């Protein structure tokens, strides 16, 4: 079992004919992902060979969905085209759109988010500026390395791509149901709370790792949700305890205002909700290891 991305997911790649899209399409195929085509406006009707797997190129997401039955799109397009690509995916009502692109202007992300809301939230948008989703042994959509960990019963949601990989590696002896990188920009389509709710409802996820970082109040809001709604054990880590005061660090969303958004404030909120919080990624992994070993 996995959340949102499963072995049955049919994936298309917006920007598949570009350098990044092509590279990661090849990698996703090697991981066993069911990639069924790509989208590049003006190149419809062409095809691309990926080491023996030939994939069709379509002019639009809607055309690709009609022809292939795709229900997931991974977006690898330059920042200036990203808003149009996201809106196109939303207009086609594809169930899941994973936006890998980094550097999308906040105004564009906000406009795309508002368009999705106005369209009835038919598309789950993950990202932007995220590593994607990996359900080990089932499917891998994005840039998360496929060989870090086997399938297991831990769910992971993270703002940080790098820390996603580290926790997956440190807990590889237990494995993961799904790892979700939500991205660290100020405006994102899927939040910690969305993933926490999905993992809480997933019968094959036993425990959850939540990785946050300084800036904003997403982790405090997640803590309130955990306290009210999550019965499974949650282990947390907040990146940025050693960040110099007054400096903007990491993702565009890592902005601190006074005491709000500090690592310590987030840690206290999570601990008040019953979450065990590690001081380092390795300590966080050890806390989860102890939980899994006691089950």
Residues 103-132: tens digit of each pLDDT: 999 999 999 999 999 999 999 999 999 999
Q: Which is higher by pLDDT, 258 or 178? A: 178
Task: Provide the mean pLDDT of the chain.
Answer: 94
* pLDDT more than 70, % of the chain: 93
Strand order in the sheet with 72-75: 47-50, 53-58, 35-39, 11-14, 72-75, 96-99, 124-126
| Planar angle of CA 78, 80, 81, nearest 5 degrees | 70
Please give the average per-residue pLDDT across 281-287, as a whole number.
Answer: 97
- C-alpha to C-alpha distance for 148 and 58, rounded to whole angstroms: 32
Total-model pTM: 0.95
- The per-residue pLDDT for 177 is 98
Helix, strand, coil % over all residues of the chain, rounded to 5:
35, 25, 40
Just list the catalytic residues: 251
Please give the average per-residue pLDDT across 262-277, as a whole number.
Answer: 95
Res 74 pLDDT > 90: yes
Please give the average per-residue pLDDT across 232-253, as a whole number.
Answer: 74
Helix or strand (DSSP H, E) at 134 = strand 132-135
- C-alpha to C-alpha distance for 291 and 289, rounded to whole angstroms: 5
* pLDDT more than 90, % of the chain: 90
Q: How far is CA 183 from CA 14, 57, 127, 151, 164, in A?
A: 19, 28, 5, 22, 11
Q: Which is higher by pLDDT, 27 or 248? A: 27
């Amino acid at each position: 079992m996995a959340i949102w991305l499963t072995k049955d997911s049919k994936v298309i790649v917006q920007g598949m004919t570009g350098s990044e899209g092509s590279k990661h399409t090849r990698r996703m195929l090697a991981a066993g992902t069911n990639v069924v085509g790509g989208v590049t406006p003006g190149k419809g009707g062409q095809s691309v060979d990926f080491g023996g797997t030939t994939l069709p190129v379509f002019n639009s997401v809607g055309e690709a969905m009609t022809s292939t039955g795709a229900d997931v799109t991974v977006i690898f397009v330059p920042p200036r085209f990203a808003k149009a690509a996201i809106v196109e995916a939303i207009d086609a009502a594809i169930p899941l759109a994973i936006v890998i692109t980094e550097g999308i202007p906040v105004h564009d992300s906000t406009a795309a988010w508002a368009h999705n809301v106005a369209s009835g939230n038919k598309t789950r948008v993950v990202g932007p500026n995220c590593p994607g989703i990996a359900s080990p042994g089932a499917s891998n959509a994005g840039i998360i390395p496929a060989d870090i960990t086997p399938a297991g019963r831990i769910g992971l949601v993270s703002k940080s791509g790098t820390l996603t990989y580290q926790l997956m590696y440190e807990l590889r002896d237990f494995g993961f149901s799904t790892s979700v990188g939500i991205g660290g920009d100020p405006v994102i389509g899927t939040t910690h709370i969305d993933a926490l709710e999905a993992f809480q409802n997933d019968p094959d996820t036993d425990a959850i790792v939540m990785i946050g970082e300084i800036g904003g109040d997403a982790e405090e809001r997640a803590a309130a949700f955990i306290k009210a709604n999550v019965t499974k054990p949650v282990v947390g880590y907040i990146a940025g305890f050693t960040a110099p005061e007054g400096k903007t660090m990491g993702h565009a969303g890592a902005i601190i205002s006074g005491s709000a958004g500090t690592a310590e404030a987030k840690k206290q909120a999570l601990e008040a909700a019953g979450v065990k919080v590690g001081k380092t990624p390795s300590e966080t992994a050890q806390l989860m290891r102890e939980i899994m070993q006691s089950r």
